[in-house]
Amino acid sequence: MLPGMNVSSSKRIAIIGGGVAGLGTAWRLAQAGAAVTVYESGALPARSGAATWASGGMLCARLEMGHAPVALAAFASSARAAWPAFAAEIERASGVSPGFAETGALVTASGHAPGDGIVAVDGDEARRLVPGLSAHIRAALWAAEEARADPRWLAIGLARAAQAAGARFVKEVRVNRIVENAGRVTGVLTSAGVQAADHVVLAAGAWSGGLLKVSNLPGPPIRPVKGQMLSLAADPRAMPVNRLIWAEGAYIVPHHDGRVVIGATQEEAGFDATLSEGALEALRQAAVATLPALAGLPVAERFCGFRPATDDGLPALGGIGPEGLTLASGQFRNGILFAPLIADAAALHALEGRLPSIARQFSAARFAEAA
Ligand SMILES: Cc1cc2nc3c(=O)[nH]c(=O)nc-3n(C[C@H](O)[C@H](O)[C@H](O)COP(=O)(O)OP(=O)(O)OC[C@H]3O[C@@H](n4cnc5c(N)ncnc54)[C@H](O)[C@@H]3O)c2cc1C
């Protein structure tokens, strides 16, 4: 049962999208007794192009929120606080560790300043925190509370937990339209036919805006912001680095399965999934310049994903348009960090028609008001 929610439900709920938002919401709703079906056009958990599979997995409620509005910083901080219990609950329910660790983050990139939870350190202190850091680095910032989770193991864990709680998964089936009748959502039109539902949760990431449009429903123009990444393969028992690093020109995220993820570009390129050898090599070199030991590791994978972005850069949650529709999108760069709160907020809205107070500022209804 969700915090603050006192009803269980037998509603039939269709969830569109098998990324972290759809899977987390499915789990919470199945726990509340709803009859949940997740529709995913790709594999489950979603892979190719899905932001979740491509994500770095940084949980940086301090560094990511430097210039953020107060409400978003509060949301990030509350999400970060929820993570230890969220990770433990996923592991208990699924047997899969989402790779959560309170690593802290060292910032050697310029353009950041000390602040709440972020302190200045000299080069020696930086090398004590991150052994192997380049000798050229004379000063850095240290954000002790930053953390990471592995988005891929997170998605696998959430999928198993949701299934164990009773959610049904329909993979490789695309939702072509949300079906509405007289101001109420009645189901989804999929590539496998019409499926009736009492409620629909739209958690289709960067594709959410397009689906609202083809369904002739109002909603925020959610656009894809492409991110290219690569990962290096390290021995998980002898990791070359155990902390997050925000280096000049790249960030470095070590994961518990030995993947060292290096990212990321941020491009307005629509859904073009082309990888640029030059951009990826620039990221690798920036990481190596900061942590020379990475030079010896083989590249395991190159990939990209599409961050779901709204025009005001804030999440878009809750109801918009007809009765019976919940939107869970617009998490942009921080959808892994926000995962525990997005799941709770979307589930609460689907069951009770309201958002928790921490999420109310991100109500999708603000776009209807603006229009
Ligand atoms: C390169 C990169 C790095 C990132 N790094 C971080 C980070 O370090 N920390 C952090 O917190 N966040 C990070 N993010 C952001 C985070 O990954 C996203 O905000 C989050 O994963 C969005 O999750 P989602 O479930 O909404 O979307 P997605 O994971 O994109 O899932 C949406 C799913 O919906 C499916 N779908 C779409 N349309 C349909 C349809 N019509 N029918 C059926 N299924 C459909 C898609 O196939 C997709 O699988 C990063 C993102 C990228 C791209």
Is there a domain that residue 2 lies in? no
Closest residue CA from atom 18 of ligand 1: 335
Burial class of residue 112 (count of CB atoms within 10 Å of its CB; 0-12, 13-18, 19+): middle
Closest residue CA from atom 52 of ligand 1: 55
Q: Tell me the residue range of the domain where 350 lies.
A: 12-68+71-80+152-219+311-370
What is the per-residue pLDDT for 44? 86
Is there a domain that residue 97 lies in? no
Both 140 and 156 in one domain: the answer is no
Is there a domain that residue 53 lies in? yes
Q: Which of 278, 309, 340 is the endpoint of a domain?
A: 309
Both 165 and 271 in one domain: the answer is no
Ligand 1 pocket test, candidate residues 207, 225, 228, 341, most atoms within 8 A of CB: 207
Is there a domain that residue 212 lies in? yes
Is there a domain that residue 4 lies in? no
Both 113 and 188 in one domain: the answer is no
Q: Which of 288, 309, 330 is the endpoint of a domain?
A: 309
Specify the CATH number for the domain of residue 240: 3.30.9.10
Question: With a 6 A CB cut-off, is 307 part of the ligand 1 pocket?
Answer: yes
Question: With a 6 A CB cut-off, is 175 part of the ligand 1 pocket?
Answer: yes
Both 168 and 210 in one domain: the answer is yes
Both 36 and 166 in one domain: the answer is yes
Which of 6 and 347 is assigned the larger pLDDT? 347
Question: With a 6 A CB cut-off, is 41 part of the ligand 1 pocket?
Answer: yes
Both 183 and 198 in one domain: the answer is yes
- Average of per-residue pLDDT across 120-127: 98
Question: With a 6 A CB cut-off, is 245 part of the ligand 1 pocket?
Answer: no
Instruction: Report pLDDT digits (tens) over 135-164.
Output: 999 999 999 999 999 999 999 999 999 999
- Average of per-residue pLDDT across 265-280: 98
d(CA 17, CA 90): 19
Both 229 and 340 in one domain: the answer is no
What is the per-residue pLDDT for 342? 98
Both 241 and 344 in one domain: the answer is no
Both 230 and 299 in one domain: the answer is yes
Is there a domain that residue 357 lies in? yes
Question: With a 6 A CB cut-off, is 321 part of the ligand 1 pocket?
Answer: no
Instruction: Report pLDDT digits (tens) over 6-50.
Output: 456 789 999 999 999 999 999 999 999 999 999 999 998 878 789
Question: How far, in Å, from the CA of 230 to the mean position of ligand 1?
Answer: 17
Q: Which of 309, 331, 358 is the endpoint of a domain?
A: 309
d(CA 110, CA 107): 8
Question: With a 6 A CB cut-off, is 63 part of the ligand 1 pocket?
Answer: no
Res. 2: pLDDT tops 60? no
Specify the CATH number for the domain of residue 322: 3.50.50.60
Both 57 and 160 in one domain: the answer is yes
What's the total number of domains in the chain? Answer: 2
Cα 356–185–342 angle (5° rounding)? 25
What is the per-residue pLDDT for 133? 98
Is there a domain that residue 93 lies in? no
Both 76 and 157 in one domain: the answer is yes
Ligand 1 pocket test, candidate residues 55, 158, 337, most atoms within 8 A of CB: 55
Both 132 and 235 in one domain: the answer is yes
Output the CA torsion 82→262→110→226 (10° steps): -80
What is the per-residue pLDDT for 370? 58
Res. 175: pLDDT tops 50? yes
What is the per-residue pLDDT for 7? 53
Asked if 262 and 231 touch (Cβ cutoff 8 Å), the reply is: yes
Question: How far, in Å, from the CA of 114 to the mean position of ligand 1?
Answer: 30
Question: With a 6 A CB cut-off, is 336 part of the ligand 1 pocket?
Answer: yes
Is there a domain that residue 6 lies in? no
Res. 3: pLDDT tops 90? no
Closest residue CA from atom 37 of ligand 1: 204
Q: Round to the nearest angstrom and report the end-to-end CA distance of the chain.
A: 36
